[in-house]
Amino acid sequence: MSKNKNKVQELKEKVLKAQQENDIAALYVLEQQAHDIFDEETIQGFYANILDLALERLTETLEAHRAMNMNEVQDFATLRALYEYAIEHYSAGKIQDAAALFEVLSGLSNNEKFSNALKLHWIAAQEKISFDDFLDRIADIEATQRAGTFYISEFKPEAQKLLDTLKDKGAKT
């Protein structure tokens, strides 16, 4: 067996073990290796598995009436996967679906910064602001990169104007 086939097989075994253990965090640890070794179709399956596990954890969390703890590795990885799923919808123009996901996510975590950031995402989507406009006018990508968060956590002054506009309309934020 060639060295490359060995690497592919070893990685597939690690991925399978992480899936069997419902270990989303371990899958994220393997993410770069997956990109380096797997073909595009396998990578899509890899992310689909992460999403399936995250949706399963979401259901369990909602049924248990608990908030996810950003300091708990599996909760953190779950929130990341669900956020990436919501952003995927938003960037694909599925604004209503993204808004619904952002709304759920904003109430899912015990982390106030995450919750407030997701409320802004939700409001922007509710106001039918396109993803590109959200990135250009609302999000502060450079500050977010400096903050080192997996989600857009820093915003331009326009974000406060959006919140003020909604408060003027009598909306709940």
5-16 pLDDT per residue, tens:
888 899 999 999
171 half-sphere exposure, CB direction, 13 A CA radius = 16
| Token pair 């950031």 in the structure block, residue | 117
Domain boundaries, given as residue ranges, for the chain: 1-66, 87-173
Q: Helices (H), strands (E): how many in the chain? A: 10, 0
| Dihedral sign, Cα of residue 8, residue 29, residue 149, residue 96 | positive
Question: Which tens digits make up the pLDDT trace of 124-153?
Answer: 999 999 999 999 999 999 999 999 999 999
**pLDDT score, position 2:** 67
Q: What is the dihedral of CA 90, 152, 173, 105, to 10 degrees?
A: 70
Residue 25 exposed, middle or buried by CB count within 10 Å (0-12, 13-18, 19+): middle
Find the farthest-apart pair of alpha carbons in the chain and give their distance in angstroms, rounded.
Answer: 67
Contact at 8 Å (CB) between 139 and 156?
A: yes
How many other C-beta atoms are found inside a 10 Å radius of the C-beta of residue 165?
12
Q: How far apart are CA 157 and CA 155, in angstroms?
A: 7
The CA angle 170-171-173, to the nearest 5 degrees, is 130
Q: pTM to 2 decimals?
A: 0.89
Q: What pLDDT, on the 0 to 100 scale, is given for residue 5?
A: 81
State mean pLDDT over 95-113.
96
Q: Which tens digits make up the pLDDT trace of 118-128?
A: 999 999 999 99
